[in-house]
Amino acid sequence: MNKLYEAFLNALYPKKEYCILCGGISSENLCSNCASTVEFIHDRRCLKCGKGLKDSFIDNICPDCKERKFSFHTAYSSFLYKGSGKEIIHKLKYDGKKEGARVLAKYMADIIISESLKGDVIVPVPIHEDKMSLRGFNQSFLIGEHLSRDLSLPLWPCLIRIKNTR
C-alpha cells in the first residue's frame, strides 16, 4: 500500500530535479546549459588512456602514457578533465552530489555504445575504508549501479582496495 500511495503522490506532485552544477530546475541532473559546456572528446584520443589529443600532437600515445606502465590495455574518456566535466566529478566525490553518478554513467554508456565496446560485467573500483568512512559512499559503485542498468550488465563489486592512494 505504501508504494501505491507513493506513486500517487509522485503523480500529483512530481519531484523536482535540480542541475548539480548550477542548481537550476532540470528534468535531468544536468541542465542543457551546463551539459553544453562539457568538453567531449570527439576526435583524437590517446590509444592507452583515452585522453583527448590536440591535432598538433604527432603520436597516438600521450606523454604521460609513454612514461608510465599500466596494468590495463586501453581506457576511454568521455570528456576532457577540465571545466564542467571536472566539476561534475568533484561534486560527486567531494560535495556528495550523488546525482553526478547518473550523469557520468550516461556519458560512459554513450561512449561504450558509440565505440561498440563489449563487456560481460561492470566491476567498480573500490575506495579505501578511510575514504569510505569520510565520504559515506563509493562513487565508483554508484556510477557502476547506473551503468549496470543502462547497459543491462551485472554489477560485480568483487575487488578489495588494500592501499590508500592520495
CB 33 within 8 A of CB 22: yes
Q: What is the pLDDT of residues 25-37, one digit of tens each?
A: 888 899 999 999 9
Residue of 36, 18, 37 lying closest to 28 (CA atoms) = 18
CB 96 within 8 A of CB 135: yes
Average pLDDT in the chain: 89
Burial of 68 (0-12, 13-18, 19+ CB in 10 A): exposed
CB atoms within 10 A of CB 137: 15
- Percent of the chain clearing pLDDT 70 (strictly above): 97
Q: What is the pLDDT of residues 128-149, one digit of tens each?
A: 888 888 889 999 999 999 999 9
Question: What predicted TM-score, i.e. pTM, was given to this entire model?
Answer: 0.83
Q: Residue 1: pLDDT band by 50, 70, 90 thresholds?
A: low
pLDDT for res 100: 96
CB 26 within 8 A of CB 35: no
